[in-house]
């Protein structure tokens, strides 16, 4: 299968490409704008593989998207490109509206025009897989059941609102124009190559550097944590075997409060690299809460597990330990990012 994948130098997209090139016969056309959170290094051996081609382009550039479809004749789209950091969306929502909504619209229109040129069989086999988030469903109380494919939308931040809008566009293009679309929604991902503004790498690196460990509010906000390689496998199964018009909620059944995640990172580092200053947990500081901070996200993945023959293989403890080992082994990568960040680029508090 030839897949046009957007955002392939990002955290999740690069994991999908590494897996697709290593274990499948797929050919990947990687469309990436190469913004601040992108990393060519994250592609690993896939970067120079003959079945991978990187095109630096903006998904809001309609002529460029139409040209990519016509030049490469993909069998499927995996749309991962997005602005995704909630803190940034609060500070500057315009980029989120432009990329997540206008970009998705532009890509849908390019796909619609392209599929109209295909023979009937190829058009029927084509897939447009849109990768989204559980944040479009709003927030859960502690006693609420997890989100599933039937949960109503209730986005609470500029980021989640922009993703909700893009989800609705994708389904509308499926219903109105017959484009074979699939939507998947996922939980908080973590693992190698995640940009250091997100909660786990932010806390991990701050702890290594003996900095304060900022936690929003009282730290009781809860997230369901999915190791990125498990998510990448699920996404490939969706594009390979998913049903047009379907939604798949992809999660790991690993909910943790933010404060417990932070403490777990401190405990692992204290065992691996004891600090002469004592336990790193003493560096935790509770900071002013984020505006509109959603209390809890959690997904029930039973439908996806049954339909895709997939389950997450990493529990949170083993996944977190593997993630910490990776960051310890790739210090030059995140040090270079940190140098730029502290010179003027914003780092949030994650979660």
CA-nearest of 112, 87, 52, 41 to 326 is: 41
Average pLDDT for 193-216: 95
Residue 260 pLDDT more than 50? Answer: yes
Query: Helices 103-115 and 158-177 meet at what angle, rounded to 10?
Result: 20
Q: How buried is residue 109: exposed, middle or buried, by Cβ count under 10 Å (0-12/13-18/19+)? A: middle
In the chain, where the domains are located: 2-190+226-254+296-314
Average pLDDT for 184-189: 97
Catalytic residue among 32, 58, 114, 159: 159
Label each residue of 228-295 as H, E or C.
HHHHHHHHHHHHHHCCCCCEEEECCCCEEEHHHHHHHHHHHHHHHCCCCCCCHHHHEEEECCCCCCCC
Strand partners, 128: 77, 181
Is there a catalytic annotation at residue 121? no
Distance CA 2, CA 115 (A): 14
CB 69 within 8 A of CB 110: yes
Distance CA 3, CA 163 (A): 22
Is there a catalytic annotation at residue 32? no
Average pLDDT for 324-344: 85
Helix (H/G/I), strand (E/B), else coil: 118: coil
Distance CA 192, CA 194 (A): 6
When pLDDT is cut at 50, 70 and 90, the band that residue 341 belongs to is: low
Query: Which phi and psi angles does 29 have, rounded to 5°?
Result: -100, 110
H helix or E strand, kind and range, residue 6: strand 2-6
**What pLDDT shows up at residue 342?**
53
**pLDDT tens-digit readout, 3-58:** 999 999 999 999 999 999 999 999 999 999 999 889 999 999 999 999 999 999 99
Catalytic residue among 135, 197, 229, 233: 135
Between CA 321 and CA 330, with CA 325 as vertex, the angle to 5 degrees is 150
Distance CA 128, CA 170 (A): 8
**What pLDDT shows up at residue 349?**
43
When pLDDT is cut at 50, 70 and 90, the band that residue 344 belongs to is: very low
Rounded to the nearest angstrom, the gap between the alpha carbon of residue 31 and the centroid of all alpha carbons in its chain is: 16
Q: How many C-beta atoms surround the C-beta of residue 70 within 10 A?
A: 12
Question: Which CATH architecture group holds 2-190+226-254+296-314?
Answer: 3-Layer(aba) Sandwich (3.40)
Alpha helix ranges (H) inside 73-187:
86-91, 94-96, 103-115, 120-125, 158-177
Concatenating the DSSP letter of every residue in 34-100 gives --TT--GGGGGGGGG-TTEEEEE--TT-HHHHHHHHHHH--SEEEE------HHHHHH-THHHIIII
**What pLDDT shows up at residue 316?**
97
**What pLDDT shows up at residue 249?**
98
DSSP-derived secondary structure letter, 137: G
Is there a catalytic annotation at residue 91? no
Exposure pattern of 10-20 as b/e (b: 16+ CB <10 Å)? bbbbbbbbbbb
Distances (CA, A) of 290 to 3, 54, 91, 141, 213: 37, 36, 11, 17, 15
Q: Which two tokens stand for residue 93?
A: 């929502």
Residues in contact with 312: Cβ distance below 8 Å, sequence separation at least 6, in sequence order: 226, 227, 230, 234, 251, 252, 253, 254, 301
CB 202 within 8 A of CB 239: no
Average pLDDT for 55-66: 98
* Predicted TM-score of the model (pTM): 0.95
Catalytic residue among 27, 83, 134, 305: 134
């Amino acid at each position: 299968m030839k897949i046009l994948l957007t955002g392939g130098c990002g955290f999740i997209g690069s994991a999908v490409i590494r897996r697709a090139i290593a274990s499948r016969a797929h050919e990947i056309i990687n469309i990436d704008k190469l913004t601040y959170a992108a990393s060519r290094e994250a592609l690993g051996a896939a970067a120079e593989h003959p079945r991978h081609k990187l095109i630096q382009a903006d998904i809001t550039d309609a002529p460029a998207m139409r040209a990519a479809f016509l030049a490469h004749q993909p069998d499927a789209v995996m749309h991962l490109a997005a602005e995704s950091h909630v803190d940034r969306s609060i500070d500057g929502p315009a980029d989120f509206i432009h990329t997540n909504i206008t970009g998705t619209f532009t890509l849908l229109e390019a796909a619609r025009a392209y599929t109209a040129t295909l023979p009937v069989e190829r058009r029927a086999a084509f897939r447009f897989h849109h990768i989204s988030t559980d944040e479009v469903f709003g927030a859960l109380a502690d006693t609420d059941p997890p989100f599933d494919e039937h949960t109503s939308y209730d986005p609470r931040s500029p980021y989640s609102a922009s993703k909700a809008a893009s989800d609705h566009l994708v389904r509308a293009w499926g219903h109105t124009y017959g484009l074979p679309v699939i939507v998947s929604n996922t939980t908080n991902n973590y693992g190698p190559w995640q940009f250091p503004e997100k909660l786990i790498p932010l806390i991990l690196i701050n702890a290594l550097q003996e900095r304060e460990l900022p936690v929003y509010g009282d730290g009781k906000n809860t997230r369901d944590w999915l190791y990125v390689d498990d998510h990448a496998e699920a996404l490939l199964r969706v594009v390979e075997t998913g049903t047009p018009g379907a939604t798949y909620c992809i999660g790991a059944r690993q909910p943790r409060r933010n404060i417990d995640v932070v403490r777990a990172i401190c405990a692992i580092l204290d065992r691996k690299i004891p600090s002469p200053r004592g336990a790193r947990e003493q560096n935790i500081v509770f900071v002013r809460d984020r505006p509109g901070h959603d209390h809890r996200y959690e997904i029930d993945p039973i439908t996806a597990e049954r339909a895709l023959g997939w389950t997450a293989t990493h529990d949170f403890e083993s996944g977190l330990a593997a993630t910490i080992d990776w960051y310890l082994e790739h210090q030059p990568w995140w040090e270079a990012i940190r140098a730029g960040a502290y010179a003027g680029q914003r780092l949030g508090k994650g979660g």
